[in-house]
Every structure is written in structure tokens, then in C-alpha cells.
Structure 1
Amino acid sequence: MGRYATPAGSSASIGRGSARLLLALAMALAGTVPGALAAQAEAAGETPLRIGVINVDAVALQSPAGQALQQELVAFQEDVLVELQARQETVREIEQRIAEADSLSVDDRRVLERQYQDALTEFQRFQQDKQEEATVLQGEGQARIREEIGPVIAAIQSDLGYDLVLNSTSPIILFFSERIDLTQLAIERLEAGSP
């Protein structure tokens, strides 16, 4: 029976400082723990521990869902850029009319300045709305990617019998087996008062 680690980006993910601390501890223990665990497994007559790494970023980018997300984001960005340029041109035209409006009455100038403020506000609001839409689009795409690659990683772990699967580009454990879970041993030693 294995356990899957909490995925990055979830509400239960750890902070940056905590992740660095955990990575440092893991690296410090990396030289002793695998040897001790392998010796334990060998003494118990079990097969040696198997540890694998997966570059989740590369898998995600090459996945069908990842490719689809890239295309969606590019198309979205192109559409937004066209609309932003049109809105920006409207703002510039009003700016130009204000700059050339020396002969306008005070009331006409105020109307023009109000049009400028309205156009500028609309431009900024549109930009903000599209940024929010892009965030939602990206979040939904990442969820599809996780749904697509999660079963693949689980199948690889199961088919090849890995006890520990790590993300090669970040300190994230993707899967670990009960064989390498030292939690109960640590609790028992604490209760016994021995190191």
C-alpha cells in the first residue's frame, strides 16, 4: 500500500521556507537513510528499495492536456492583445484630441477629459478582467493535466514496483510506499526514550 504526497498548489502545500528546510533535511539524510532502509529490507528478506524520479514539468508540457493548454493560452493571448491594442488606440486618440484642444471651451474640454478617463478606466478594467480569465483558464488546464498524468505516474510506480517516486525538478514526493515510512518507528523510539 502506498501513499501519494500532497500535490503542489493545493491548500495543504507547504511554504517556500518550509520546503527549503525539508529539502535540506532530506539531502542531509540522503546518504544514510537509503542505506539503512536497504539494509532493513535485505534483512527482512524483501527486495531492495527502488527509487525513481520524474520530471513532472516536462511530462506536463508534453501531455495532450499540456499541449492543448498551451494552444488555448496562445489563442487567448492573441485575442486579448488585439483587443488591448484597439482599446489603447482609443485612449491615445482621445489624448491627442485633448493635446490639440487649446481652442475648446472649458466645458468641451471637461467632456473630452471625462471621455479620456472613461476610456482609460475601461482599458484597465478590461486588462484586469482578462488577467483573471487567464488565471482561471490556466488553473482549469492544470487540473486537466493532473487528471491526465496522475494515473500514468501511479501505473509506472505500480508496474515497475518503485517505493519512492520524486519530482526531479522540485522537492516534491509524488509517491512513497509503506516500506519507507519511518513514522511509526520514530514514534516508538520516542516513547522508548532511545535514539
Structure 2
Amino acid sequence: MKRYARLPLSSATLLLALAPATLAGQTEGQAADAPLSIGVIDLDAAAFGSPAGQALAQQLTDFQQELAAELQARQDAVRAVELRVAEADSLTVDERRVLEREYQDALTAFQRYQQDKQEEAAALQTDGRERIRAELAPVIEAIQAELGYDLILNATSPIIILFSERVDITPLVIDRLAAEDPGGA
């Protein structure tokens, strides 16, 4: 069995964009009283194994490697200023303040850079999820139409991916509630 790299995105987030989709009508030739047809998909495996999922995994890996190197360099620069502050016993009060200000500025710049990169990573993930959704949704819908599934479930979570009107029992429940109501409220 092929293993897929896990991406730092949740299937629940991906599913919100995919599901549940209501299937308009029934597959041609499918009788209303025919047994329900249910399909199951491991959405995580499909997403992570898709070309868009593989591309996102590579983008995130590359981004994380570049970020780790840059963060280390910036952190080293902040530490160098911090060491200069710690060793500045012979400086005047004004010189020490200037050095401490330099340290605070370097620390603030480091934290801003880190926050900006976190936002960039989140945007990269969001764009990647959209590409995956755009790739998966039509394939799942085509398989549903081709094989006549009334219900498609996610194998790893209790989330419905697609469903047809045949599985919706709402009208039946309403009819039975009305039949049980003696006052005809």
C-alpha cells in the first residue's frame, strides 16, 4: 500500500470546501426503490496523493527549509547583539541605551519576520487546499455519476462527501410526525 506524506492541513478544512454536496436527481436508470449505493473515500489519502497534494507537500517542505535557515541566521544576529549588551559593562549609560535599543529593534524585526512568514505559510496552505479541492471535487462527482452512488462518506471521519435526495429522510419524518399529531396542529 502506498503511503502518502501528511500535509499540515486538516481533512475537515478540506471537506468544508467539498461537502456535503447534494446530488440533483438520481442516476439515470436508478429506481427510487433500488438499494442505496454507498461509496467510501479516504479523503486524506486522495488529497495527499493527488498531484496538487504532492505539489503542496513539496512547496511546504521547500518553504520550511528556507525559513528554518533564514530564521537561524536572524536569530544568530539577535544573539550577537544580545551578547554585546551583556558584555557592555564599560560603556557609558548613553552607549548602553543605544546598544539595548539596537537589541530591541533586532528582536522586534525577528519577531515581525517570523509572524510574516507564518502568515505566508498559512496563505500557501490555503491556496494549496483550493487547488486540491478544485482537483478532487469534479473527480468525486464524476465517479458518483458514473457508478451511481447515493452517498459518499469519508473513511477517516464521520463526514458526508456527497448525498442524493434518496437518502434524505426529512420528508418521511415530517409525514410521520404529522400522522402522530392527533390535534392536527
**CA distance in structure 2 between the partners assigned to 1:184 and 1:124 by the alignment:** 56
| 1:47 correspondence with 2:34 | yes
**TM-score, scaled relative to structure 1:** 0.76
Tell me the matched-pair count: 158
Contact kept? 2:38, 2:151, Cα under 8 Å: yes
**How many percent of aligned residue pairs carry the same amino acid?**
63
**CA distance in structure 1 between the partners assigned to 2:85 and 2:71 by the alignment:** 21
- 5+ residue gaps, structure 2, are 1-12, 21-30
The structure with more helix, counted as a fraction of residues: 1
AA aligned to 1:8 is L
3-state DSSP of counterpart to 2:134: helix
Matching residue of 1:172: 159
3-state DSSP of counterpart to 2:15: coil
Q: 1:141 to 1:7 in 2, by over 3 A?
A: closer
Runs ≥4 residues deviating over 6 A: none
- 5+ residue gaps, structure 1, are 1-5, 14-43
RMSD of aligned alpha carbons: 2.1
Shift of 1:47: 2.5
Contact kept? 2:14, 2:129, Cα under 8 Å: no
| 1:130 correspondence with 2:117 | yes
3-state DSSP of counterpart to 2:174: helix
**TM-score, scaled relative to structure 2:** 0.79
**Of 8, 17, 29, which aligns to 2:15?**
8
**CA distance in structure 2 between the partners assigned to 1:61 and 1:81 by the alignment:** 23
Q: 1:107 to 1:192 in 2, by over 3 A?
A: same
Pairs within 5 Å for 1:53-64? 53-64=40-51
**Of 156, 180, 184, which aligns to 1:193?**
180
